[in-house]
Structure formats: C-alpha cells, structure tokens
Amino acid sequence: MNSRHIKELRAFNRFYTNIIGLLDKHILSSSYSLPEVRILFELYHNENLTASDIITLIDIDKSYLSRILKKFEKNKLISKAMSSADNRAAVLQLSAKGKKEFEKLNKASDKQIESLFKNLSDKECDDLVQKILTVKKLLIKSLGNE
C-alpha cells in the first residue's frame, strides 16, 4: 500500500463518519453513544451473551462496558441472570423496554441510510452495495480472516 492509498482511505473514513454522524456525542439523535447502540444491537441479535462475549464481539474495554451495562440496568434496558454454564458469569438480556429502544434506533438507522440513497437509481444502489461488499471482502482478506 502506498501513501496515496493511505491518504484516500483516510479521507473516505472522514467523509463517511461525517455523513452518518459517528463523531456526534449521541447517535441518530438519541441519548445513546455509538458503543451503547452497538451493545444494544448485539444483545438484540444474540441470546445468552455475557459481558465477556460482548468484549470479544466488539473489542470494548471491560471497564467501559461495565459502566454502560450499569447505565442500562439503571434505565431498565437490560436484565441479568446467572449463567447455567458458569455461575461466575451473568447472562445479559434486553428487557421489553430495551428491545423497544433498540427497534426505534434501528428504524432511525434504516431511515438515515434510505436518505443517503434517495437520489440514486436502483442500479446505482445495487452497484454501491456490490462495491461495499467488495471492500468488506478485501478488508477481511487483509486481516487474514478469510
């Protein structure tokens, strides 16, 4: 990879993070940060996760995750139960309120992406998605995760 490649990839990263508001303190005009939304996403889409599982999935600092989970518990977004497989670990689940919050955020994210694509034809959307899949495939290859 030469310096032009690095420069262009970094420029794209800045461009895209700005478009979707990743640098905003709260994502999708909500009261949640990006890491908080990502944790809600993982809990919504995976059953019986422990804090260790979340750390592995999203590579988040253990102390930071702990603070977020305490906030979620306080706001009644999650519940904890002792793991049947390991009584030292707690299994985390979204509460009904937590599921509702995630679904609201997910819908807002879908609308945000829809608005990005609104001026593109179906063919252009297909082309963009295909190129995104190619980028993903190449990044996975570069990480040695083929």
Residue ranges covered by each domain of the chain: 3-142
Tokens of 74: 């306080």
Domain 3-142, CATH number (from 1.10.1200.10, 1.10.10.10, 1.20.1250.20, 1.10.3470.10)? 1.10.10.10
Token couple for 57: 């999935």
Is 0.85 surpassed by the pTM of this model?
A: yes
The CA distance from 25 to 29, in Å, is 9
Tokens of 117: 């694509």
Region class of 91: left (phi > 0), else alpha (psi between -120 and 50), else beta: beta
Q: Quote the DSSP letter at residue 50.
A: -
**29-43 per-position pLDDT tens digit:** 899 999 999 999 999
pLDDT tens, residue by residue, 42-95: 999 999 999 999 999 999 999 999 999 999 999 999 999 988 877 888 999 999
**DSSP SS3 for 142:** helix
Whole-number pLDDT of residue 146: 67
